[in-house]
Amino acid sequence: MECILRAGIFKTLIECTKDLVTSANFIFDGDGMRMQAMDTAHVSLISLALQPSAFSSFHCAEQSSLGIHFEALSMVLKTCAADDQITLAWEHGGDRVTISRGSDRQFELKLLEVDDGITSIPEQSYEVSATVPSLEFLKICRELKDIGGDTITVRVDHPDRITFNVAGDLGRGTAVMKEGVSIGGACETATSSYSLRYLAMFTKGATLCPTVQVSMGRETPLRLIYFVDAELPEHGKLYFFLAPRICD
């Protein structure tokens, strides 16, 4: 297996997820590269899919599963500039993956045996789906997190209003998002509560693209979708799923 891609894409994806996941299996096959992993508390799930078109060059004769430690991978990628082209290479049966930058930089990472316990993500029917500005979403989550509460309640109202509420020992906070919001779905409104700490970590995906798709319902996990490349959305997507909290 050998593939070449722009370092900035891979670097951003790993930075968005390394605080949630310690290690994961990266699957390479004819459909590109994909990764699924749960956090250690099994509260959230991360799923990444990169199409072959996202790579400058992509060669994979047979399916390859590479267990990689995220922090080690992040340290290697930090040596690269965003526009650098990096080569990922692995020989069948080998216990290391090689990451090269040009002809003068080469790193080897030892592969891990990772039992992710994930088979597939079941299809969900969501009550509402909204497309919102990703930077504003990030800003709201970080501001409310500073209040000190650990649970955020999200209410979506057609046609263009999302309200975020948090209550903590230091006080309460409310934020309303309307500008740039587009809402669809079968229901006029939906309300659910989630871990604010996890949601704030998910919003790091704002560095990928200017909008994020938020889908939710009362008894379904929250789903966030970030396009890997805003100008070429067909290149791939980064998904975050978060279980709802049951509040009295």
Q: How confident is the model at residue 248 (pLDDT cuts 50, 70, 90)?
A: low
Helical segments of 48-204, H only: 70-77, 134-145, 196-202
User: In the chain, pLDDT over 70 holds for what percent of residues?
Assistant: 97
pLDDT of residue 117: 66
Confirm if 179 and 133 have CB atoms less than 8 A apart: yes
Q: Give the model confidence (pLDDT) of 131-155 as tens digits.
A: 999 999 999 999 999 887 899 999 9
pLDDT of residue 15: 93
Helical segments of 28-119, H only: 70-77
> Tokens at residue 54, please?
């996202």
Cα–Cα distance measured from residue 42 to residue 44, given in angstroms and rounded to the nearest whole number = 6
**Domains, in order of start, for the chain:** 2-110 (3.10.150.10), 128-242 (3.70.10.10)
Q: Please tell me the pTM assigned to this model.
A: 0.93
**Lowest mean pLDDT across 19-28, 91-100, 114-123, 178-187:** 114-123
Q: How confident is the model at residue 169 (pLDDT cuts 50, 70, 90)?
A: confident
| Residue corresponding to tokens 């740039």 | 180
pLDDT of residue 199: 96
What does pLDDT average to over the chain? 92
In the predicted structure, residue 231 carries a pLDDT above the cut 90: no
Cα 41-44-50 angle, rounded to 5 deg: 130
pLDDT of residue 239: 96
In the predicted structure, residue 106 carries a pLDDT above the cut 80: yes
Write b or e for each residue in 215-238: b if 16 or more Cβ atoms lie within 10 A of its Cβ, otherwise e. bbbeebbbbbbbbbbeeeeebbbb
